[in-house]
Structure 1
Amino acid sequence: MDAVLGTAVLLGSGVTAGVLFAVALSVLPALFAMETGTYVYAHKLLGRNWDPTMPVVVLTSTLLAGALAVTADDGAARVLFGVAAVLLLGVSAVSHLCNVPINRRVKAVENPEELPADWEDPRPLWRRWHMLRTLLALLALVVNATAVTMI
């Protein structure tokens, strides 16, 4: 059973790290290259399918790593799976507490061509939070991969 859960946690943490890495590598530079109105429009389009999918992937991976932290036979693997679960929980926390509120503000803009006078470009802040969660996801993948080799 640990082998099945290990495969599943690698798949989930790999997808998480891969998606966040791809956004950091390609999507973010493209968004920064856009005029603000175009960015708002693109941001709304890009977020439509990530929002319902990625929380499920991240939280499922977190639960799988947590389960392996309890059930794995090897003590070192249990510790590593616990660390990976905490790292993935960090990905979720940064997403929900930092990136999602920014996403909501951008989505609330009714007309991207007529931004409010007090509009502050959220891209730099969003990028900082995104880079943090990307780092956490990559670390979780490495830790999960290491732990899986022990079971």
Structure 2
Amino acid sequence: MVEVLSVAVVVGSGVVAGVLFAVALSVFPALQAMPADRYVYTHKLVGRHWDPTMPVLVLSTTAADVVLAAAPAAGRPWFAAAAVLLAAVSVVSHFCNVPINRRVKSLPDWTIPAGWRDPRPLWRRWHLLRTALAVLAALANAVGAITG
């Protein structure tokens, strides 16, 4: 059971880190380069299928890490650290990035209201934080799996 969950958390956290890294490396710079009206339209298209996939993946991997942190294995501290890091990814996503996403998605296509504040710089800062947390979680899970 520990071996199966160890593989699951390495894969789960690796996918989370990889997706967030890809967004930071390629998707966001493309969105940043767009005029505001194209950004809003494209943001809606790109973000269509993240929910519920990413929250389910992050939370299920976190739950598996919690189980591994309670299991009698040498990698317990690493799995506990990964659980905390992935929980932080979820918190940053839920309380920082998702509210920004909802505001952008509520805008009409191709029309930017007067006085609109571009959310991209703030969104980017929060995204880079959760990306770093996810990469650290993947690393912690990998170390936990090889030491467990």
User: Considering the TM-score relative to the shorter chain, is it more than 0.5?
Assistant: yes
Number of residue equivalences? 148
Q: 2:133 aligns with which of 130, 133, 136?
A: 136
For residues 72 and 142 of structure 1, what CA distance do their matches in structure 2 show? 20
Any idea what the Cα deviations from partners look like across 1:33-88, whole Å, max 9, x if unmatched? 111100000000011101211000000110011110001422xx111111110000
Give unmatched runs, 5+ long, in structure 1. Answer: none
3-state SS, counterpart of residue 50 of structure 2: helix
Aligned to 1:57: 57
Q: Does 1:25 align with 2:22?
A: no
Percent sequence identity over aligned pairs: 60
Q: Does 1:38 align with 2:38?
A: yes
3-state SS, counterpart of residue 51 of structure 2: helix
3-state SS, counterpart of residue 51 of structure 1: coil
The TM-score, its normalising length taken from structure 2, stands at 0.97
For residues 71 and 140 of structure 2, what CA distance do their matches in structure 1 show? 17
Ranges of 4+ aligned residues in structure 1 off by more than 3 Å? none
Aligned to 1:78: 76
Letter in 1 for 2:128: M
Give unmatched runs, 5+ long, in structure 2. Answer: none
Q: How does 1:105-120 map to 2 (within 5 A)?
A: 105-112=103-110, 114-120=111-117
Aligned to 1:48: 48
Cα RMSD, aligned residues only: 0.8
Letter in 2 for 1:145: A
Aligned to 1:125: 122
Comparing 65-74 with 92-101, which one deviates more in the overlay?
A: 65-74
Shift of 1:110: 1.6
For residues 109 and 62 of structure 2, what CA distance do their matches in structure 1 show? 38
